[in-house]
Amino acid sequence: GENVEQHPSTLSVQEGDSAVIKCTYSDSASNYFPWYKQELGKRPQLIIDIRSNVGEKKDQRIAVTLNKTAKHFSLHITETQPEDSAVYFCAASGQGGSEKLVFGKGTKLTVNP
């Protein structure tokens, strides 16, 4: 089945710097890659997603890139702010039409003022 690896597990940046979180997946049939943000004590919320027919997607300060050949995708946050501090999860949809998401283990991002 699908396996998703996420790195780094923790990331600390200064306010205004960029942050990059990387994920790799194993199933070449996966075609949907969402990113979730989970603030302390809250539910995961979708922040951006990308489908396999697109190489890059941007939404204000957040962008996601996908390299299908290498089977990796990344989350880029520019001009980080303290409110970006959270745990971020990547995920990939499994094969076989079940549309189950397999999640990475998460990255705890801390943005220092």
Partner 1 sequence: DVKVTQSSRYLVKRTGEKVFLECVQDMDHENMFWYRQDPGLGLRLIYFSYDVKMKEKGDIPEGYSVSREKKERFSLILESASTNQTSMYLCASYRQGAETQYFGPGTRLLVL
Q: Given the rule CB under 8 A, which residues bind partner 1?
A: 1, 6, 9, 32, 34, 36, 42-46, 49, 89, 93, 98-106
- Minimum CB separation of residue 14 from partner 1 in Å reads 25
- Minimum CB separation of residue 103 from partner 1 in Å reads 4
Nearer to partner 1, 12 or 45 (CB): 45
Q: Which residue in 113, 47, 107, 61 sits closest to 82, CA to CA? A: 113
Helix (H), strand (E) counts: the chain: 0, 11
The set of long-range contacts for 97-101, using a CB threshold of 8 Å and a minimum separation of 24, is: 99/32, 101/32, 101/34
CA distance 83 to 112: 10
- Minimum CB separation of residue 80 from partner 1 in Å reads 22
CA distance 113 to 95: 42
Nearer to partner 1, 38 or 78 (CB): 38
Nearer to partner 1, 4 or 77 (CB): 4
- Minimum CB separation of residue 29 from partner 1 in Å reads 15
